[in-house]
Structure 1
Amino acid sequence: MQVRDVMTAGCVTVPSSATLADCVTRMLMAGTGSVIVDDDGPLGIVTESDVLSAAQDIDEPLSAIPAHVAMSHPVERIEPTATVRKAAERMQTLDIKKLLVARGFDPVGVVTVTDLVWHFSDFQREAGRLALKGNAWEHGE
């Protein structure tokens, strides 16, 4: 199974001039947990956790905190044709919960740990199907 099979297509973006209040507004409007900070290409990602940490650490209104202060950068990317296993391994290795899905430099979506969990039964079915197919090969069927 490939990343494109489980990702959320499209990206919610804000310009680098955005504040955290702008980021929160975009997240709430889109029903998502992150926004990509983008000025002619992705610069970073602001997540719900980033907003909470910045609000705690900076102790200013969200409208006074620039997005670039709280964003994680550079934003980690993965190709849509990469395997879901590779995405999960990268998230685990980097200790992150979201990856920007991009064809080269063109963002096409986001894949999250939640996406992987929601599709876990699909992975199990695919693994079972592949195992049966391999078993049939061994028995000459």
Structure 2
Amino acid sequence: MQVRDVMTTGCVTVPPSATLADCVTRMLMAGTGSVVIADDAPMGIVTESDVLVAARDIGEPLADIPARVAMSQPIERIEPAATVRKAAARMRDHGIKKLLVADGVETVGVVTMTDLVWHFSDFQREAGELAAEGRAWNHGT
């Protein structure tokens, strides 16, 4: 199974001038857990966790905290044709829960740990089918 099979297409963005209040508003409106800070290209990502940590550490109203202060950068990317196993490994290796999906230089979506969990039964079914095909091929049936 490939990333393109489980990713969310599109990307919720805010401009570099955004505050954390702007980020929270966009997340709530879009029903997502993150926004990408982007001008001409993605610069960083602000997640729900980033907002909470910044609110605790800075202690100012979210409307007074620039998003760029809390954003994670650089953004990790993956190709749509990559396997979900590769996506999970990259998330694990980098200690993150979200990857931008990029086709060349164009951002085409986001894949999250939640996406992988929601599709776990699909991965299991696909693995079983591949194993059955392998057994059939090895036995000449």
In 2, the alpha carbon distance for the partners of 1:131 and 1:97 equals 29
In 2, the alpha carbon distance for the partners of 1:3 and 1:122 equals 13
TM-score, normalised via structure 1 length:
0.99
51-60 or 98-107: bigger deviation = 98-107
| 2:16 partner amino acid | S
Cα RMSD between the aligned structures?
0.5
Aligned match of 1:134: 134
* 1:60-104 deviation line (CA, Å, top 9, x unaligned): 000000010000001110011100000000000000000011112
TM-score, normalised via structure 2 length:
0.99
Aligned match of 2:50: 50
In 1, the alpha carbon distance for the partners of 2:104 and 2:49 equals 27
Aligned match of 2:117: 117
Aligned match of 1:3: 3
Aligned match of 2:88: 88
In 2, the alpha carbon distance for the partners of 1:45 and 1:27 equals 12
Structure 2 SS opposite 1:37: strand
Segments of 5+ residues of structure 2 without an aligned counterpart are: none
In 1, the alpha carbon distance for the partners of 2:83 and 2:38 equals 26
How many percent identity over aligned positions? 77
| Equivalent residues, number | 141
Structure 1 SS opposite 2:72: coil
Structure 2 SS opposite 1:21: helix
Q: Which residues of 2 match residues 34-113 of structure 1 at below 5 A?
A: 34-113=34-113
In 2, the alpha carbon distance for the partners of 1:73 and 1:130 equals 37
Segments of 5+ residues of structure 1 without an aligned counterpart are: none
In 2, the alpha carbon distance for the partners of 1:19 and 1:101 equals 25
In 2, the alpha carbon distance for the partners of 1:85 and 1:17 equals 36
Deviation at 1:105, TM superposition (A): 1.7
